[in-house]
Amino acid sequence: MIGSKRVRFQPVAEGASVTQLELFFDLVLVFAFTMVTDLAAEETSAKNMVRAFLVLAVMWWLWIAYSWLGNVVRADEGFARVAMFTAMGGAFLAALAIPEAFHDLPGGWFGPLVFAIAYLVVRLVHVVMFWLASAEDPQLRNQVLRWAFGSITLGTTLLVVAAMTEGTVQICLWIAAIAGDYLWTLLAGTDWRMNSATHFAERYGLIIIVALGESIVSIGIGVKNLPISWPIAVGALLGLAISGLLWWAYFDVAALSIEHELKRSDGAQQIKIGRGSYTFWHFPMIVGIIGLSLGLKKVLYYVGDESHHTLKDALYGIPLFSLYGGVVLYLIALIGAKHYATGSITAPRVVTVVLLLALIPVACALPALASLTVLTAVLGALIVWETIKLAQPRDEIRHGAHD
């Protein structure tokens, strides 16, 4: 145990797995992702897409803070358990306030300030926990102090100020808060601790599953008030197939390659991989999945709502760009995360990104269901190609001996 008898912490052991309490904590993020998708779907304008992106960036930063903390002290032991539940409460209130993050709705509390204060509470709990956990580790404590000074000042204080403004000024303050927090994290040093590479990699793999699960939920929400029909059934299965193919693209080889490199590294290099491949490169993956969720939601509404659309109607504008662009962004981020850790790039994925970008103008002219079919076919071809043509290196990564 580290710390005093009153405040007990249990360090995370090498090779430890994610705790059940951390999985419970992630349920708040499931709800937050759904709220972000709903916010984006409410008004498919460029301005609203920016707002949804900014909210997602803040919620992601909230989550990653506890991914690092949970790798130093066990989340389900001693005082850490109380802190995790406190953070869950703040995160849940922030998620509830997402529809009012930029403008207050009539009645009740002032929504933008509720969001900002709830977020501030979660971040302060995190800093206090890291401070206590680093009591016997001067290097880590200095790192926490350096990081907290800029992060709290830039990241959270500006959001509280932004809550009292509106319009362009408000959005600019949000951007400054997020950019400042992210940049300060890069500049604040690499004296963090990673007690278990296994736990860390598993933690981020699980949040990808959480996000992919939200994309499946979006399919159901898109047709929740519509009678089941063959277009809905086909569209839903195609959407499920896309989510499954994105799961395959991450977990089959890429995630293992990054994890193996994380385990082989140590010291500052290990922290850099954790920060670069996971904390930073996983965020555009999440953005891509949420974009996909928005696109799937709109497609299912197009093919299922016969009173407003026909099967010949094409998906266009932001919903189409979200559908294809979300998958493109996900693949680019996956390529980037693997390259950052291993230095290698999987060429078929680069080709797939280029092909999907080239197909967007074509998809604009196709019925929505056809556009979804084309996207599924391209992703399916990528996975089949990698499975067959890269069978030997794939087998070595999945089943070979690793340090």
Give residue 401's pLDDT: 53
pLDDT at residue 227 above 90? no
Model pLDDT, residue 6:
47
CA–CA distances in Å: residue 99 to residues 25, 212, 216, 376: 21, 22, 21, 32
Q: What digits encode the pLDDT tens for the residues 300-320?
A: 888 887 777 788 888 989 999
116 within 8 A of 157, measured Cβ to Cβ: no
Residue 117: per-residue pLDDT: 96
Amino acid 235 reads: G
Distances (CA, A) of 346 to 172, 173, 184, 252, 334: 37, 38, 31, 13, 10
Q: pLDDT of 339-375, one tens digit each? A: 999 999 999 999 999 999 999 999 999 999 999 999 9
SS3 of residue 104 by DSSP? coil
**304-310 long-range CB contacts below 8 Å, 24 or more apart?**
304/222, 304/223, 304/226, 304/229, 304/231, 304/232, 304/235, 305/226, 309/368
- Beta bridge partners of residue 73, listed in sequence order: 11
DSSP SS3 for 367: strand
Q: Where are the beta strands (DSSP E) in 43-125?
A: none
Tell me whether residue 388 is exposed, middle or buried, using C-beta atoms within 10 angstroms of its C-beta: 0 to 12, 13 to 18, 19 or more.
Answer: exposed
